[in-house]
Amino acid sequence: MLTAAELEALRVSLIVAAESVACSLPLAIAIAWLLVRARFAGRPLLDAFVHLPLVLPPVVVGYLLLLAFGVRGPIGAWLHASFGIRLAFTTAGAALATAVMSFPLMVRAIRLSLEGVHPGLEEAARTLGAGQIDRFLSVTLPLMAPGILAGAVTAFAAGLGEFGAVITFAANIPGATRTLPLALYTAIQSPDGDVAAARLAALSFALGLAGLVAAELLARRLRARLGP
């Protein structure tokens, strides 16, 4: 059985992962569409920038977020002065760090799905009088749905395991930013935390595996409904 502190870490992890996906999914769809359909000079640079969190150490990402969104950072100071919003060392900050780290996974899944949508289908809708927004909402978006779903679930599962960026930007605050990986780290540092660490590791493994399996099964089911 999980202790109250471990259940609290699970609750925080689920909230952080869900908020990170909800906030970044619309942007991921827009970026994926730009990378596949749009033609502009800076597209390779945008592509590299989007995927940068995959190659940067997570601690570096967290540090950069702290510089930008901390209470003394340019964005963080403006948010705090204008709206009273503080992101660093908060649950929202943990969600932001998680969103940045999982964003490339989401974009990649959506992009691959969009690349499978034949432009001729959109062109046929255009000849029937559909505008650009109508074509996107009625043709492109439904056909992208398997990739969107797979990307969202994969990003959620990855968000449950994010550690470096979260601890750097949001710290390790019980009940606020202590997610499952941070609780596991705390247990490992405790002299008598072996049993708790084993429970948390097993829970993290199970959640990650379940998330990946769910993403694949849901995407397959949706593709089957949409047809060949």
- Domains along the sequence of the chain with CATH: 4-57+88-226 (1.10.3720.10)
Distance, in Å, from the CA atom of 209 to the CA atom of 149, rounded to the nearest integer, reads: 16
**pLDDT score, position 142:** 83
Please report, to the nearest 10 degrees, the dihedral formed by the alpha carbons of residues 103, 137, 128, 37 taken in order.
Answer: -10
73 contacts 66 by C-beta, under 8 angstroms: yes
Alpha-carbon distance 161 to 178, whole Å? 12
Specify the long-range contacts of residues 2-7, CB closer than 8 Å, at least 24 apart: 2/199, 2/203, 3/196, 5/174, 5/183, 6/183, 6/196, 6/199, 6/200, 6/203
| pLDDT at position 143 | 82
10-residue mean pLDDT series, the chain (228 residues): 90 96 94 88 90 94 95 93 93 96 94 82 72 75 85 91 95 94 93 90 91 82 68
Residue 222: Cβ-neighbour burial (10 angstroms; 0-12, 13-18, 19+): middle
What pLDDT shows up at residue 12? 96
pLDDT score recorded for residue 216: 80
